[in-house]
Structure 1
Amino acid sequence: MTENHSKHRQQAEVAFGKTQSQLFERQRAIEDLNSIVIARNEKTQRLREARLAKELQDSMATAEKPAVKRSKKPTKRSA
């Protein structure tokens, strides 16, 4: 069964279809961008945690080492 619609109705249907497809495309693009932002934030957090853990480990290793005494070497002075 086919429905016969007026020319104005058909034009409105086509315009509505175009608007809907643009809306869906825009929503898909926004979702893609949001997923990229979320992935970037998660990676940044992982890297930050790894850096802080390494800094803590380095500071603990430095605190455990005995202080090295340096002797002063005489410097040559020109007259």
Structure 2
Amino acid sequence: MTENYSKLRQQAEAAFGKAQSQLFERQRAIEDLNSIVIARDEKTERLREARLAKELHDSVTSATKLTSKRARKS
């Protein structure tokens, strides 16, 4: 079925298509940025947890060493 539209209608359809494609591009860019932000936040959280675990391990180790040194001196 071939439909003949007026020139004004064709221009409106073209403008609408362009606006839609720009909207989709903008949404895709926003989604890409959001995924980058989410990935960065997840990595930051993993690094924070690793740092806290290391600090806890180091403090337990130093406390153990201090206790063993005191026990040897007594």
Q: Unpaired segments of 5 or more residues in structure 1? A: 69-79
Structure 1 outlier segments of 4+, above 2 Å: none
- The residue identity in structure 2 corresponding to 1:12 is A
Q: CA deviation at 1:65?
A: 1.1
Q: Where does residue 61 of structure 2 map in the other structure?
A: 61
Q: CA deviation at 1:60?
A: 0.5
Q: Share of identical aligned residues, percent?
A: 79
TM-score normalised by the chain length of structure 2: 0.87
Q: Unpaired segments of 5 or more residues in structure 2? A: none
Q: Where does residue 25 of structure 1 map in the other structure?
A: 25
Task: Specify which structure has the higher proportion of helix.
Answer: 2
Q: Where does residue 51 of structure 1 map in the other structure?
A: 51
- The residue identity in structure 1 corresponding to 2:54 is K
Structure number with greater Rg is 1
